[in-house]
Amino acid sequence: MPFCSQFIANIRAARVGEAERLAINKEMANIRTKFASPNLSAYDRKKYVAKIAFCFIMGYKQDLGHMEAIQLLTAQKYSEKQIGYLAVTLMLTENSDLLRLVVNSIKKDLDDRWDVVNCLALHTIANIGGDEMAEALAPDVHKLMISPTSNNFVKKKAALALLRVYRKYPQVVPAQEWALRIISLMDDGDLGVVVAIASLVLTLAQDFPEAYETAYEKAADRLHKLVIGRNYDTRLYDYYKIPSPWLQVKLLKLLQYYPPPEDTAVRRMVEQVLATLLEMQEIPRSVQHNNALHAVLFEAINTIIHIDARSMLATQSAHLLGRFLSSKETNVRYLALNTMAHLAARAETLDPIKKHQNTIIMSLRDKDISVRRRALDLLYSMCDVDNAQVIVGELLNYLKIADYGLREEMVLKIAICCEKFATEYKWYVDTILELISAAGDYVGDEVWYRVIQIVTNTEDLQAYAAHTCFNYLKSPTCHESLVKIAGYILGEYGHLIANEAGCSPYEQFQALHAKSNFCNANTRALILTTYIKWVNVFPEIKPQLMTVFDRYRHVLDSELQQRACEYLAMAERPEDDDLLQTVWDEMPPFPERESALMNRLSKKHGDTGDRRTWIVGGKEAMKDAQVTRMKSLKRVTTNGTPTSSPARNRPHGAATGVPNGTTDIMAALAGLDMSGGPSVNGDHTPVLRNPDIDAKYQKLLYSDSGILYDDVQFTVSIKSDYRMSHGRMRIFFHSKLPTPLDALTTTIKSAEHDHLTFDIRQIPSTTVESAGHTMLEVEFECKEFFTQPPTLHVSFLTGSLTTLGLRLPVVIHKFFEPIQLEPQDFYMRWQKIGGPPREAQVFFPIVLNKRGDVDTLGQQAIVTGARIRCLEGVDPNLVNTVGAGVIYTSATGKAGFLVRIEPSRDEKKCRLTVRCTSDAFAPSLMEYIRGLLTAK
Amino acid sequence: MIEYILLVSRQGKVRLAKWFATMPTKTKTKIVKDVTQLVLARRTRMSNFLEYRDTKVVYRRYASLFFVCGISQGDNELVTLEIIHRYVEVLDRYFGNVCELDLIFNFQKAYAILDELIIAGEIQESSKKSVLRVVAQSDTIEDAENSEDTLARLGSLGSRGN
């Protein structure tokens, strides 16, 4: 319904710009008077605001209508509101003062029962929301997102509005507290909701990788359902036969913000998905199909490279990329070059890329500047000692014809490659000087400073450098930067070549002096310094030099004048004075310092939007980035190798405050923002304890299967079996609800992550039908003696989010094995092991039973339950208990141990002795068994 | 994240502009000018991607209009290209063989439809059907309100006539 079409037609009829402006001005004047009149109807207000908005789009910024637009927001009618919101989003920006007036009406509209009105408000927040809106409206937006009564189309808008709020004002979004609830929405049945939530999670996960860790599993699961199961509404979410490429790309990106998965189940899913994507080489049916296919494919390749650049899949990807390099489609060539630069930054060896070196060099001459840029970046990334000469040579050739916009970056990159990969100093000097003479205007000062640093520090190079510089000076045109280098180098090392033919001091002076007339004051000052150095080493040309100084005493530039006067005075001192010699002696080598060039280059990459998961510049650049990124991921581990860290096995927040040998102060500081204590980081549900749960847990300590948790809606039961240092546990979740249970999320945490590790073999399905069940399978490995049982954290949606934290009955005695011993064997071993340190002993008080006796049977039951064999007929005193067992750990190995419990009724005390073949275990075992015995 | 979306005619006139990143008006004007110039200068068979300052520009031409998106460095280019296409498809379905004039005369609809596809610089809904359903719903409401309006005005005219 084009209701201001007449107006628009009028404006379009105006052919000349001036007429258009006149027509608009006339209408605006008209509107101004209309707005001033007291009986402006709502319909007219809407019409006029729409006209103003139209002019705004045309580029005519008007200073009227703001208040009227804001008034429209409070209108009852949807169509008036709609125009009001459109005008507000167009005319007001985030920093506009008037936005303050809007916050209240937006809040009212968010609370409105009519969801289309909610949507208008959400759009506005998502598109122009700033600090003030964020602060006032974040809770309302969150409420709309998670409310079970919200429509799907409200939920996704709310998710993105929340994302905007978070980007603008992160403090008002308790991202960690909301983590579980937000992640649970990733299991929503509506892919529209999932794609919106994925954007939100992707951003939050970058800042709170730990709190959003479960999102990884969700993303893997969802990808699996999309790509392999094709388990979604294909009518709505197939895009030219490709399952929602947008969602796939978002999820694959999410995977790239985390280290490779540790758990077998998740890893298998991810690998399956990636392999399938890589093999999806269909014949494109249309441009759209082709684009969507490649969009996902390149993202998959990026993920593969991220996970493991040495894997089979990565080799396959490299091969594929090579083929894409000579694709007919420009887009594909562009992306192939870009992705290959990623590979170069990650791969162990550059060989697969070098195979295509010629093609890549050819790409430097592509018609499209975008492709040329990518080729340049890739060449820079793949440059190493072997191919530096070829690549730098090619780049130098190309530099002379390159676009002006590219030159500065090219010069820097050439200079860096030269410096990093030069094998001969001569080549280095030649190349850099050629670089400067070819593109002098684009050469920053850093480049020539660096040349001088290197020449000064490398003695073998000095004569050669002086010679080359001198040759450049003699050529008719010579860039000023070259004059500077030549000036400096000849001043320092000119005497090294003074005896060669054609290089006499006088000729050097003439060459340099001829150029000095065309140079600016800075360069001339440098040249004056060269002259005074020459006064020191070339007494034969002193008269000429003195004339120059004398002449410069009268120039207007004060710096030059001062130098000339000072140098003249110095040069006029008597022959036997050694001031001149001391001051103008050869420069000492520079202290080794980092190349200024790298800093310059990295400064050029501003960070906007999502963090990059890799940067251009090959391995070395990557290494730095990796360290910073990993720091930001807060994956501080005890062994200091960030990539291999089993982050999920770490107690939450515990290790962050503990900087170790390899992490510096920054890491410790990076940890600080986490150190608000577990109460703030409420991302993991606290462990639930009550007598009933404790009783179930106690029971499971002594048996391998049973019920762990039970309430009106939900039951958790386990089945487990242990063999030596490994244990396999299946955890079943039974739903008792009349409706399906959604977004089931489970995580396992091990407090002593390097003593007790685990691997999830199968993740439960996210939805549990009414009266149905699903299973989580996990394998535990006891590496070393541990005392803290792991915990299981469960959350699920039944309208609202229910969370549950439980202890898992995995304790050290599950890794014991009972041993049957004959009495004589027992004695023999007992003797053989001997006393401390392989023996540990303790006295502790005991409680007598009702009859006033020692509860020997109870003690024996505990010992047997703890997988220690009670040996009969060993101890003549029947009150005593003796037992034998073996403890299995995979890191420290196995050890046999013998136990003797001697209770005394009279003293109400008990003596416990443990002897173990390994002194590492004896005290811990004793403590543990005492704990069991006193627990009753 | 998508930083901005521009619809620019072959003559360089802006038909629609949506900014998701906050920038001063001056910067916006500069970007519009520079990016328009870059895009208009592109020839066929070149890629659909450009690099401009720290962002990437993804564009595609449909008849006389260029659809231009500015995105962050790490974003997926092709998938952005297909968001543009999805937008065009939805417009096409809604207007029935859409042309530049439709977008000029119904600018508020063009914005409303875009809001259903992309907000906060991220894709919100990729399904054509879902988007069209929501747009149709709001059209129904508008139509009802407009006929009410018309009746009311006719009524007031009538009463004045008496």
Cβ–Cβ of A613/B18 closer than 8 Å?
no
The reply to whether A806 and A818 lie within a common domain is: no
B105 touches chain A (CB under 8 A): yes
pLDDT at A600: 64
Mean pLDDT score across all residues of chain A: 82
Kindly determine whether residue A95 and residue B22, on different chains, have CB atoms separated by under 8 Å.
yes
The alpha-carbon gap from A606 to the nearest alpha carbon of chain B, in Å, equals 7
What CATH number does residue A751 fall under?
2.60.40.1230
Kindly list the residues from chain A whose CB atom is less than 8 angstroms away from the CB atom of residue B108: 50, 53, 82-83, 86
The verdict on whether residue A47 carries a ligand-binding annotation is yes
Give the Cα separation of A870 and A860 in Å (integer): 7
Judgement on whether residues A722 and A855 belong to the same structural domain of the protein: no
CB < 8 Å from A in window 3-22 of B: 3, 13-20, 22
To the nearest whole percent, how much of chain A has pLDDT over 70? 90
Q: Within a domain: residue A906?
A: yes
Distant-in-sequence, close-in-space partners of A580: CB < 8 Å, separation ≥ 6: A532, A535, A536, A570, A571, A573
A910/A913 Cα distance (integer angstroms): 10
CATH for B84: 3.30.450.60
pLDDT of residue A678: 35
Contact B124 A612 (CB under 8 A): no
The residues, any chain, with a CB within 8 Å of residue A623's CB and separated by 6 or more, are none
**Alpha carbon distance, N-terminus to C-terminus of chain B:** 60
Whether the CB-CB separation of B47 and A334 falls below 8 Å is answered with yes
User: Which DSSP symbol is given to A768?
Assistant: B
The helix or strand, by DSSP H or E, that contains position A916, with its residue range, turns out to be strand A909-916
Q: Dihedral of the CA atoms B31, B36, B38, B39 (nearest 10)? A: 130
Contacts of B82 in chain A (CB under 8 A): 239, 245-246, 288, 291-292, 295
- Rounded alpha-carbon distances, angstroms, from residue A572 to A470, A545, A579, A580, A660: 28, 11, 11, 10, 62
Provide the b/e sequence for B62-95 (b: ≥16 CB within 10 Å).
Answer: beebbbbbbbbbbbbbbbbbbbbbbbbbbbebbb
Mean pLDDT to the nearest integer, A699-714: 87
Assess whether pLDDT exceeds 60 at residue A661. Answer: no
Q: Which of these, B150, B65, B122, B19, lies nearest to A90 by C-alpha position?
A: B19
Mutate: best of B31, B113, B125, partner A, most A CBs <10 A: B125
Q: Given this model, what pLDDT does residue A656 score?
A: 38
* CB proximity list for A275: less than 8 A, separation 6 or greater: A313
A900: containing domain: 814-933
* A459 and A581 part of one domain: yes
Same domain, A797 and A876: no
> Which conformational region is residue A65 in: left (phi greater than 0), alpha (psi within -120 to 50 degrees), or beta?
left
Total structural domains within chain B: 1
Instruction: Using a CB–CB cutoff of 8 Å, tell me whether B50 touches chain A.
Output: yes
The reply to whether A354 falls in a domain is no
* φ, ψ (nearest 5 deg) of residue A768: -115, 120
Q: List the strands of the sheet with A756-762, edge to edge.
A: A705-710, A714-723, A726-735, A773-782, A756-762
- The residue range of the domain holding B54 is 2-159
Q: What is the mean pLDDT of residues A358-371?
A: 89
A834 and A896 assigned to the same domain? yes
- Asked if A606 has any chain B CB less than 8 Å from its own CB, the reply is yes
**What is the C-alpha to C-alpha distance for residues A860 and A864, in angstroms, rounded to an integer?**
6
pLDDT of residue A47: 87
Residue A898 confidence (pLDDT): 87
The torsion angles phi and psi of A758, rounded to 5 degrees, stand at: -145, 160
Does residue A261 surpass a pLDDT of 90? Answer: no
pLDDT score at A632:
43
Q: Do B45 and A195 touch (CB under 8 A)?
A: no
Q: Tell if the CB–CB gap between A239 and B86 is shorter than 8 Å.
A: yes
pLDDT-derived band at A819, boundaries 50, 70, 90: confident
User: What's residue A256's pLDDT?
Assistant: 93
Whole-angstrom distance, CA of residue A898 vs CA of residue A549: 97
Question: Between A596 and A217, whose confidence is greater?
Answer: A217
A863 part of a folded domain: yes
Evaluate the omega torsion of the peptide bond into residue A837 and state whether it is cis, within 30 degrees of 0: yes
Burial A344-378 (b: 16+ CB within 10 A, else e): bbbbeebebbeebbeebbebbebebbbbbbbbbbb
- Find chain A residues with C-beta within 8 A of B115's C-beta: 123, 127
Domains of chain A: total:
4
Write out pLDDT tens, residues A273-325. 999 999 887 777 888 999 999 999 999 999 999 998 888 899 999 999 999 99
pTM, rounded to two decimals: 0.83
Query: Residue B161: its pLDDT value, please?
Result: 47
- Chain segment A720-766, per-residue pLDDT in tens: 998 888 899 999 998 888 888 888 888 888 888 788 888 888 888 88
Taking CA atoms, what residue in B is nearest to A257?
Answer: B74
Chain-chain contact of B79 with A367 (C-beta, under 8 angstroms): no
The model's confidence at residue A596, banded by pLDDT at 50, 70 and 90, is low
Decide which of A551 and A667 is more confident: A551
Q: Coil, helix or strand for B99?
A: coil
The answer to whether the Cβ–Cβ distance between B115 and A370 falls below 8 Å is no
Q: What is the mean pLDDT of residues A779-787?
A: 88
Mean per-residue pLDDT, A319-332: 90
Select from A41, A67, A93 the last residue of a domain: A67
Residue A748 and residue A792 in contact, taking contact as beta carbons nearer than 8 Å: yes
Lowest mean pLDDT among A121-135, A299-313, A407-421: A407-421
Query: Does A638 fall in a domain?
Result: no
Return d(Cα A923, Cα A928) in angstroms, integer: 9
A50 is in an annotated binding site: yes
Shortest distance between the Cα of A465 and any Cα of chain B, in A, equals 37
Residues 6+ apart with CB under 8 A from A359: A322, A325, A326
Cβ pair B115:A127 closer than 8 A? yes
Q: In the listed set A35, A52, A67, which residue is the last one of a domain according to the structure?
A: A67
Kindly determine whether residue A370 and residue B46, on different chains, have CB atoms separated by under 8 Å.
Answer: yes
- Given A10, A45, A67, the domain boundary residue is A67
Which of A61, A160, A169, A363 to mutate to test binding with chain B, by most B CBs within 10 Å of its CB?
A160
Same domain, A769 and A789: yes
